[in-house]
Amino acid sequence: MKLRVTILPKPGVLDPQGKAIAQALAALGFSGVNDVRAGKTIMLDLAETDPVKAEAAAREMAQKLLANTVIESFTVEPA
């Protein structure tokens, strides 16, 4: 089963990349961009076929390695 893990800086954690992207968008003439947060996406292809078990496994992977939960939050969804 394929899953998508999305990792973003936690609210309140400085996101200089997001800020720089927002500034670049404004410089390109895109108006009305209130906020940009930049993170990463990790695609997992797991042997597990049970969606509940697969999601639980992906959450554990995110907790232990994929995200640093001190500074990042993550979501797991079927891909």
Partner 1 sequence: MHAAIILFPGTNRERDIAIALERASGRKPAMVFHRETELPAGTDLVVLPGGFSYGDYLRSGAMAAHSPIMAAVRAHAARGGLVLGVCNGFQILIEAGLLPGGLLKNATLRFLSMECTLRVERANTAFTSHWQQGATFRAPMAHGDGNYFADDATLDRLEGENLVAFRYVDEHAQATEAANRNGSARNIAGIFSPDLRICGLMPHPEDLVDPMMGGIDGLPMFESLAAA
Provide the binding-site residues for partner 1, judged by CB under 8 A. Answer: 9, 12-14, 16-17, 20, 65-66, 68, 70-71
Rounding to the nearest 10 degrees, give the CA dihedral for residues 44, 48, 52, 56. Answer: -60
As a whole number of angstroms, the distance between CA 31 and CA 35 comes to: 11
As a whole number of angstroms, the distance between CA 52 and CA 76 comes to: 11
Q: Which is nearer to partner 1, 52 or 65 (CB)?
A: 65
Q: Which is nearer to partner 1, 1 or 42 (CB)?
A: 42
| Minimum distance, C-beta of residue 68 to partner 1, in the bound complex (Å) | 6
| Minimum distance, C-beta of residue 25 to partner 1, in the bound complex (Å) | 16
